[in-house]
Amino acid sequence: MGQRKKKPSKKKLILRTFLILIGLMVVSTGTYAYWLTKKAEEAANNAYDKDNTRVKSDLRESVVKPMTDNVSILFVGIDDSEKRGQGSEHSRSDALLLATLNNKTKSVKLLSIPRDSYVYIPYVDRKDKITHAHLGGTNATIDTVENLLNVPVDYYYRLNFDAFIEIVDALGGIEVDVPYELHELDENDKRTVNLKPGLQTVNGREALALARTRKQDSDIQRGERQQMILAAILKKASSVTSFTKYDNILEAVGNNMKTNMTFNEMKSFFEYIKGGMPNVESLSLKGNDDTSTGIYYYQLDEPALTETQNILRTQLGLTDSNLVDTSGETDNAADSNNAEGSGYNSDYKSNYQSDNNNNQ
């Protein structure tokens, strides 16, 4: 007669079940991480601007490497609303933020550039609001920022309103301190966004309205709000609770963003947040309001601008020896408010004139 098989003890069953569950969790997490990586690569490939032939900044002697070099990233928020007749290629920049990253200190200096800053635009060889530079395309904006700040722009991210809204919504909202009661139109100029002052969680539409409003404070404070919102997005995105939401974020990014950064370059920037959020210092450009011509401009304070240039150059570890000399290229800039005869192409002229007619 055969010997009866000994039943496993209850403790061993629990342990075995626990180990199986742990194994399943590890496999599931690994599979999800692999799937996320593939989806991230697909989103990055969709976002990569293949039409932009700019390999490096004209101010650089060689191409930078994110893992070893100090680099800069320009964030360009655009209004490409069809209602305003502005496609992505002929739109104004509604927000400009330059991030300079120092590899050694793992620090970031984030500069907000007021959209109405009166600056030289190389693309048309004259001075105008910096928001109008993007009517000549992303490279026209990059060249303008480089000329203004005397630092190279190595990478750029161009996002439209849809990307901003979808990213914030995919994160489940972000926590921000609303400085005052806000009643603002939404991204389609239809529904009204209403916010009370104080610390609160806002959705994508509300965050966009807070970033864009220009009614109750100055261009400088508007820039500070945009910096606050960007910091809140980065904080939420780097949290553990956002891990399962990355697929939605990647989908939003891939469909509504363009960049000159490859997927491998993007991955290298994770070094900056491996040990937590880097030290981020917010900077602003000082200046004064000017309506002497009948059109509002933000006139930058030259001594303060020089100081900001030096701060950014120090952050990037730049000296005269490791920058290409482009001095003298802007000495003959026309300081005129007349758009005719200034080198605008026909699309640029019509958009420029439309903007000035609206006094924006």
pLDDT for 127: 96
- Kindly write down the DSSP assignment for every residue of 170-185, as one continuous string: HTT-EEEEE-S-EEEE
E strand or H helix at 307, and its extent? Answer: helix 302-315
pLDDT class for 325, splitting at 50, 70, 90?
very low
Looking from the CA of 247 toward its CB, the CA atoms found within 13 Å total 8
Least confident of 97-101, 172-176, 217-221: 217-221
pLDDT for 81: 61
Which residues make beta-bridge pairs with 158? Answer: 76, 258
Q: What is the distance between the alpha carbons of residues 95 and 208, in angstroms, rounded to a whole number?
A: 11
pLDDT for 18: 54
Please, what is the average pLDDT of the chain? 77
pLDDT in tens, 227-237: 888 888 877 87
Residue 147 predicted with pLDDT over 80: yes
Q: What is the distance between the alpha carbons of residues 109 and 99, in angstroms, rounded to a whole number?
A: 6
pLDDT for 90: 58
Residue 221 predicted with pLDDT over 90: no
Q: What percent of the chain has pLDDT over 70?
A: 66
pLDDT class for 132, splitting at 50, 70, 90?
very high
Look at residues 182, 186, 179, 176 and name the one whose alpha carbon lies nearest to residue 221: 179
Domains within the chain, CATH numbers bracketed:
55-167+218-231+242-352 (3.30.420.590)
pLDDT class for 142, splitting at 50, 70, 90?
very high
Residue type, 325: D
pLDDT in tens, 278-303: 788 889 999 999 999 999 999 999 99
CA distances from 21 to 9, 13, 18, 27, 62 (A): 18, 12, 5, 10, 51
pLDDT for 182: 87
pLDDT class for 17, splitting at 50, 70, 90?
low
Sign of dihedral through CA atoms 168, 170, 173, 176? negative
pLDDT for 347: 54
Residue 32 predicted with pLDDT over 80: no
pLDDT in tens, 50-104: 777 788 899 999 999 887 899 999 999 887 665 544 445 557 888 899 999 998 8
Residue 266 predicted with pLDDT over 50: yes
pLDDT in tens, 329-354: 444 444 444 333 333 344 554 554 44
pLDDT for 7: 59
pLDDT for 30: 46
Q: How many CB atoms lie within 10 A of CB 129?
A: 23
List phi, psi (to 5°) of 135.
Answer: -65, -20
pLDDT for 28: 42
The more confidently predicted of residues 318 and 6 is: 318
Residue 190 predicted with pLDDT over 50: yes
Q: What is the distance between the alpha carbons of residues 105 and 271, in angstroms, rounded to a whole number?
A: 12
pLDDT class for 256, splitting at 50, 70, 90?
confident
